Amino acid sequence: MIPTGRFAPSPTGELHFGSLVAAVASFLNIKTRGGRWLVRVENIDPPREVAGSADSLLHSLQLFGLRSDEPVLFQSRRMPAHRAAMQQLLNEGQAYWCGCSRSELPADGVYPGTCRKGLPPGKSPRAVRIKTSPEPVRFTDQIRGPVSETLRDTVGDFVIWRADDLPAYQLAVVVDDAFQEISEVVRGYDLLGSTARQVHVQRCLNLPTPDYAHHPVAATTDGCKLSKRLASDPIRNAPPEESLARALRFLGQDCPAGLTLAGTWQWALENWDLGKIPRKKKIILQD
């Protein structure tokens, strides 16, 4: 099987430096091993979607020389497959209908299993939750090393199908990664907390688990994730070659200054080293 990676943005705004870092890291880590790089637009949350942002994101990627090796996949077109996976888990007894609202969750957010043995009197089915186990989910992150999480203690049985009749992120991403034969996922540290849940769903559906690598996220001087502060984003007014070089240096690659866009890509493809990526959770961007 050809190694396959992906970049999967949500259409909630313009391409920003943090998402450029994720795109560059995923692209280089797969391309330096002769693999395929795919783009998937994760547009399954209509209330959060910004009109026109999908086209804007794809256009920005092209300006940086980042092109998917296959036609871009729009996740909303995969809804029948998401629903089929949810139904499979229900049929196999690995998931169940829940009638609890978000306001009924404990303060720590860990679902206590209220509906695990059936809907209590007075409750109607709202969402579908997948059963978790007291056994820890273990995987090895290519940047951070061994990771272990006991989902029963950290989140409890979690939602895979929402009350508004849409697939939850944790289910949709697993189904679509398997469909696209994704063998590795390189993304920001902010998504590390989702990985154990996704590995759990993969195992329940008997789907392969990709290799994972979580790089630091870009933050402003006040510690906020950069995506929330587009006004201070360093790629807004900089030439693409400068932003690309800055993204590479953010990822620990000693990219020289003054190269053209094509020259920067050539240098990156010849010198990429995943082992140089800092193991920090976030890195503050300086003006």
The span from the CA of 29 to the CA of 31, in Å, is 6
pLDDT (tens place) for every residue of the chain, 287 residues total: 899 999 999 999 889 999 999 999 999 999 999 999 999 999 999 888 889 999 999 999 999 999 999 999 999 999 999 999 999 999 999 999 999 998 888 989 899 999 999 999 989 999 999 999 999 999 999 999 999 999 999 999 999 999 999 999 999 999 999 999 999 999 999 999 999 999 999 999 999 999 999 999 998 766 667 664 455 576 877 899 999 999 999 999 999 999 999 999 999 999 999 999 999 999 888 75
Q: Are residues 119 and 250 in the same domain?
A: no
Q: Are residues 36 and 114 in the same domain?
A: no
**Is residue 155 in a domain?**
yes
Q: Are residues 190 and 278 in the same domain?
A: yes
Contacts of 55 (CB under 8 A, 6+ apart): none
**Is residue 175 in a domain?**
no
Q: Are residues 89 and 165 in the same domain?
A: yes
Torsion angle defined by CA atoms of residues 277, 64, 173 and 156, in that order, rounded to the nearest 10 degrees? 40
Instruction: Kindly report the CATH number assigned to the domain that includes residue 187.
Output: 3.40.50.620
Q: Are residues 73 and 188 in the same domain?
A: yes
Question: Where in the sequence is the domain holding 111, given as residue range(s)?
Answer: 79-169
| Structural domains counted in the chain | 2
Q: Are residues 60 and 188 in the same domain?
A: yes
**C-alpha closest to that of 20 among 85, 54, 65, 55:** 65
On whether the CB atoms of residues 285 and 223 are closer than 8 A, the answer is no
Q: Are residues 54 and 185 in the same domain?
A: yes
Q: Are residues 69 and 121 in the same domain?
A: no
**C-alpha closest to that of 72 among 191, 176, 184, 186:** 176
DSSP letter for each residue of 51-120: TTHHHHHHHHHHHTT---SSPPEEGGGGHHHHHHHHHHHHHTTSEEEE---GGGS-TT-----TTTTSPP
**Is residue 25 in a domain?**
yes
